[in-house]
Amino acid sequence: MNSQTEELYEAAIKVAKIAGEVTLKYFRKDLEIISKQDDSPVTVADREAEKAMRSFIMETFPEHGLIGEEFGSHNDKASVKWILDPIDGTVGFIHGIPLYTNLVGITVDDVPTVGVIHAPYMNELVAGATGVGAYFNDTKTSIRPCNSLANASMMTTDVQFFNTYGYKASFEHLLTKVKTHRTYGDAYGYLMVATGRADIMFDPDLKIWDAAALLPVIEQAGGSFTDLKGNARVDGDSGLACSPELKKELLHIFETHS
């Protein structure tokens, strides 16, 4: 790990924990729920957490760029960009479900380099960076070996999205192939894969602030992260995390069952 990556890795963990501290103050409290233009919900907790994240970054790294779900872009031409989702799983957060996360991703020259998935209520944090590996609460972590769908545990988020985005047949086919399936995934599902507690996590709809933290974490844990077409990118429109042994079969299912 070079010195820049080490500095960014440590700072990203701190930023995720800053967001966690803010969101915990609002968790399971009465909150005003606001509908954004795309009808997705947002709360004061989302906005205050992102403000705190951005404040730390802009004071510590004024030359860096920012992309945040709630407050947009800053310094777009910077070589280092922080990509923030203050609460991933806002719907669950609103309903008092403790599996929401704070996401921090960093790209260097547009290459995803650092990622942090922080579940503050669960006191779980997994972080990964190029040349570092992945760590779960400061202990090195990795995906678990799995080369058969029949032995795989699959996580998903909103089941209705598979119909909305054209993956209903793929999803229903996978349900007949995998050993177990659970929902309430959001980014916590990817944390489960990175820590060896699930084998597959996928979403038919992801934005860059959802995905930017995921790719470094999953890859550094020894897994594969791509969109549902097989491209290893964070600016696609979907996400799939799995063991490398399952990747080819899963992508074939998404391609042929539509």
Output the pLDDT for position 33. 78
Q: What is the 3-state secondary structure (H, E, C) of the chain?
A: CCHHHHHHHHHHHHHHHHHHHHHHHHCCCCCCCEECCCCCEECHHHHHHHHHHHHHHHHHCCCCEEEECCCEEECCCCCEEEEEEEEECHHHHHCCCCCCEEEEEEEECCEEEEEEEEECCCCEEEEEECCCEEEECCEEECCCCCCCHHHCEEECCCCHHHHHCCCHHHHHHHHHHCCEEECCCHHHHHHHHHCCCCCEEEECCCCHHHHCCHHHHHHHCCCEEECCCCCCCCCCCCEEEECHHHHHHHHHHHHHCC
- pLDDT class of 159 with cuts at 50, 70, 90: confident
Output the pLDDT for position 182. 93
**Same fold for the pair 3-140 and 149-256:** no
In this model, does residue 158 exceed pLDDT 90? no
Output the pLDDT for position 184. 75
In this model, does residue 133 exceed pLDDT 80? yes
Token duo for residue 145: 């070996």
Record the pTM.
0.96
Q: How far apart are CA 161 and CA 207, in angstroms?
A: 14
Confirm if 85 and 66 have CB atoms less than 8 A apart.
Answer: no
In this model, does residue 181 exceed pLDDT 80? yes
The domain ranges of the chain are: 3-140, 149-256
Q: Which residues contact 257 (CB under 8 A, 6 or more apart)?
A: 169, 170, 172, 173
* 149-256: CATH class: alpha beta
Which pLDDT tens digit goes with each residue over 12-67?
999 999 999 999 999 999 887 776 666 577 889 999 999 999 999 999 999 999 99
CATH code for residues 3-140: 3.30.540.10
Mean pLDDT of 106-119: 98
Q: How far apart are CA 56 and CA 144, in angstroms?
A: 35
